Amino acid sequence: MADGAHPELADIDLANSYILGVIYDDESLTLEMDFRLTEDHPRYEVSDGDEDGCYAKGFIRFAEFDDLRLRKAETPEGEEVDYSDIYSATIEGDYANISSGWGEIELTAQSIQIALD
C-alpha cells in the first residue's frame, strides 16, 4: 500500500491504481476506482493478458465532511492529461489527500468507506 494507512487499503497499491470517476454532492464524495491489488491481497489473481498486475473495480466514499477542498486540474492548451492517474495519495484516519490527473482532493471526513465490487 503506497502512502495510504487506512486498514481497508491493506494490500492495495493505491499509487498505481486509477480514478475512473468522481461523484460529488452535498453529502458525499465518491471516487470510482480501478484498484491495483498486490500479491498479498486475497482477491489477487495472476494476469494472463498484457495488464501490469491485478486490478479490481471498487470505490472510496467520503461522507460527513469536517473539511473539503477540491481543486480541479487545469489542462494546458494542446496537452493531453490522463485524468485517471494518481500522483500521490494518503488516506489515514479521517484525513485524505489525493493528487491526480483530475486534480487535488484534500479532506477530513467522519466516514470513509472503501469497497471492491
Q: What is the pLDDT of residue 1?
A: 36
Mean pLDDT, the chain, as a whole number? 89
Cα separation of 74 and 82, whole Å? 12
Span 69-101, pLDDT tens digits: 999 888 778 788 788 999 999 999 899 999 999
Give pTM, 2 decimals.
Answer: 0.86
Q: What is the pLDDT of residue 74?
A: 84
> 33-36: which pairs have CB atoms within 8 A and are 24 or more residues apart?
33/57, 33/58, 33/59, 33/60, 34/84, 35/116, 36/12
Which ranges constitute the DSSP H helices of 1-117?
none
Cα separation of 27 and 45, whole Å? 35
Q: Which SS3 state, helix, strand or coil, does residue 9 take?
A: helix
